Structure 1
Amino acid sequence: MRTDATRPPSRGLSCYTENLAGYLAARAPARVDLTARSVRLAIDPATGCFSHHDRALNNLPGGRRLAYRGASDAEAALTGIASELAEHGRALVVADSGALPWLSGAAHAHAPHLILVDGCTHDGGWHVVDGFTALFSGGGHQEPFAGELSGAELTALLAFPGGLSEVHRARNALAFGFPVPAPAHETYQWLAEEPGTTAEHLPGGHWLTGPAALEEIARLVLADLRCDGERGVLEDVWAAAQHHMFRDAHLLAADGVLSPEDRRTVDATTAKWRELPRLLRFAANSSRRGRPRPSLVTGAFTVLAELEAAASPLHAAHGYDVPTTLTNVSSHAGQGS
């Protein structure tokens, strides 16, 4: 591995959306603005699945979209990735977050993580960019990375030899807001541009949004803490917090758009989203010690719901969180529409 002298900038987004935003910035610059405006939470109480965006972020200009590809062997995967590079100059690939060589310490778990491959070297290496940054509760941390990997290094961090868990499969399917079909092979996965668009329909029954979604998340968090976090709901909440802080920062950056009172309203929601992961980590640690704090969790989400409700007219007035209709289809969240 060779590290570039300059790290890429980080937008402070989640492990899926950070490098998706980097891809879209080069492919369709206006999509970065759309990413901020798309942020919303929808929860399926029947499955516990999260949808973070009210527009299908994998839809591209010209009636094209990003779709998953998969292979059971490394050679086929590298051939597919090279084909995307040749045609589009970059490719998003699904990496194992726990196997990233630029990770310091330990990640939470081995989970899907999008990284950007944007070049090949003359000796068979690959240039990789990862703008994601995070601190992990176990003491590990990740900083943005740009550099060259050998073919062996790249395939090692892309490999999921046992496939994905049901939780991770559902997250992959809904990473862009609405279901995208999974590939036939999960050992190696990447994204390819193809003709067509992803329908903006959510699967299953009734999905909750707004304050009702935050109330449901509190219930899901408490249930997951009783099971020692096996569902990984805290990871979904952390992603939601990053997305909402990105939304608010994007709105605040628009000079002259907001009055001082409006800015205070947005600042209040940002502060609560920033505080939420730390508070939930404290609750999780307390639960592991046999001292669950359900009122701490429910109280935090109640306050957040009140702040989001107060800011909702402001967001809508400026084109944020103006959701598409949550039309449902009778299929599992991990399947395509």
Structure 2
Amino acid sequence: MSTALHTHGDKLTCFTAALASALAARGETRWWRPLLADGPFLAVTPAAALLRFEHHATPPLPALGLRVTGDNDWDTAHSALSAQIAEHGVAVILADTYRLPWQRGHRRLHAPHWLAIVDDGGWVAEDPLAMTTEYGPQPGTRVHIPDPGKLRTWAVGLGATDRALTLREEAMAGTTDIAAHRTYRWLEADISAAQRTPQHELDRTRSQLGSHHDPLRAQRDRLPPDPAQHQPSPQPFGRGSEGLRPSSHMSADRDRLSGPDALRALAARYRFARTEADFDQIDDLWQALRQRELLLWAAEHDPDLLDEAGRAHWEHAVGRWRTLPPLLLHARMRAASGTSIDTGRIAETLSELAELESGPRVLATSSPTGDHL
């Protein structure tokens, strides 16, 4: 079977699709390895009334020697993108679904949408992400960029108007410093991240990206709800919630739960969900499903990732994970219509998934593909 990105966008998220596209553009044939390292993984940390979800054992951007940067001036942004594409053949911009005309959410909803811009005899936006949206099916695609003026329109970022969306990008970046208030944002090399990363992590990243990869040179308006009218239902933090306490600090590791504990805490949280606001972050659980689907698919092509028992375990677990998004979507629609909802099945499913989350982790952490940059 093909491992080309455009045929497997149904196993990616808007974040991993862009990073995978960038890895593939730089010659990495096993582009999934850096995205699955030490996984599957899930952690949650309270952030006021919301949660910060983490889907990677190590935040992907610092692990790849990258960080988010940005500017309000298009000429500055375009110059930086041009320099990256000239040197590496690819750059990643942090765009907004609302401004992308090929997206189902164009002019309908705001959501983070990262894009790899590659040089393929002209600039092309690689967008392999495929999914079913509330507006219909969204296939993966490649979009020719006719001129800088068009890219200027498409590259306007999300802004910082929705805290739940900002939390997702912060989790990918491993920091709250994501230039959220800049008009244009992109990834650039982060020297400080490379300096902070332990040597064994740098060695693993170099192996995954190719022997010539140097992390010092690598690629690096939905309005906020009215707090008085759009507050989630009070959440229990006693028995059953596994100590999940509100916090707005990314460094509050004492409040961070991972693995089975995270899913048990989510089960307790959703058992008491009643309002539409309680379901604002269900897309984060969809992302968790996609990470596990990516692992299951990748293990078929890369047998070093999981042994036979590991593949059997995650095949069963993914089957159970796939039952969760429909339950969450149905509950959100009923909450939005003011209809009473029964979240018992959601809580039971999350509790079952907690028991499966202790399954085997990815075995392979480094293995050159032979297709170096």
Question: Residues 108 and 15 of structure 1: is their aligned pair in 2 closer, same or farther, counting only changes over 3 Å?
Answer: farther
1:57 alignment partner in structure 2: 60
The answer for unaligned runs of 5 or more in structure 2 is: 199-249, 366-373
Deviations 1:61-99 (A, max 9, x none): 7xxx21112111322221221121122211000111122
Q: Give the CA deviation at 1:152.
A: 2.6
1:10 partner letter: H
Percent identity between the two aligned chains: 24
Alignment of 1:70-109 (within 5 A): 70-104=70-104, 109=109
- Is residue 2:361 matched to residue 1:315? yes
2:192 alignment partner in structure 1: 196
Question: Distance in 2 between the 1:288 and 1:52 partners?
Answer: 27
2:8 alignment partner in structure 1: 10
Question: Distance in 2 between the 1:121 and 1:185 partners?
Answer: 33
Is contact 2:293–2:318 with CA below 8 Å preserved after alignment?
yes
Q: Give the CA deviation at 1:10.
A: 2.9
1:132 partner letter: L
Question: Distance in 1 between the 2:284 and 2:270 partners?
Answer: 10
The answer for unaligned runs of 5 or more in structure 1 is: 1-5, 321-337
* Alignment coverage as a number of residue pairs: 301
Is contact 2:267–2:347 with CA below 8 Å preserved after alignment?
yes
Is contact 1:96–1:112 with CA below 8 Å preserved after alignment?
yes
Q: Give the CA deviation at 1:26.
A: 3.7
Question: Distance in 1 between the 2:136 and 2:105 partners?
Answer: 4
Q: Give the CA deviation at 1:212.
A: 1.2
Question: Residues 212 and 107 of structure 1: is their aligned pair in 2 closer, same or farther, counting only changes over 3 Å?
Answer: farther
Match of 1:297 among 346, 359, 370: 346
Is contact 1:245–1:274 with CA below 8 Å preserved after alignment?
no
Question: Distance in 2 between the 1:86 and 1:60 partners?
Answer: 23
Question: Distance in 2 between the 1:7 and 1:142 partners?
Answer: 15
Q: Give the CA deviation at 1:307.
A: 2.3
Question: Distance in 1 between the 2:120 and 2:82 partners?
Answer: 8
1:171 partner letter: R
Question: Residues 46 and 94 of structure 1: is their aligned pair in 2 closer, same or farther, counting only changes over 3 Å?
Answer: closer
Alignment of 1:147-186 (within 5 A): 147-149=143-145, 150-160=147-157, 163-176=160-173, 178-179=174-175, 181-183=177-179, 185-186=181-182
Structure (1/2) with the larger strand percentage = 1
Question: Residues 233 and 148 of structure 1: is their aligned pair in 2 closer, same or farther, counting only changes over 3 Å?
Answer: same
Is contact 1:164–1:186 with CA below 8 Å preserved after alignment?
no
Deviations 1:126-174 (A, max 9, x none): 32111111111x2333211112123232222221485443333222221
2:265 partner letter: E
Q: TM-score, normalised by structure 1?
A: 0.77
Question: Residues 102 and 34 of structure 1: is their aligned pair in 2 closer, same or farther, counting only changes over 3 Å?
Answer: same
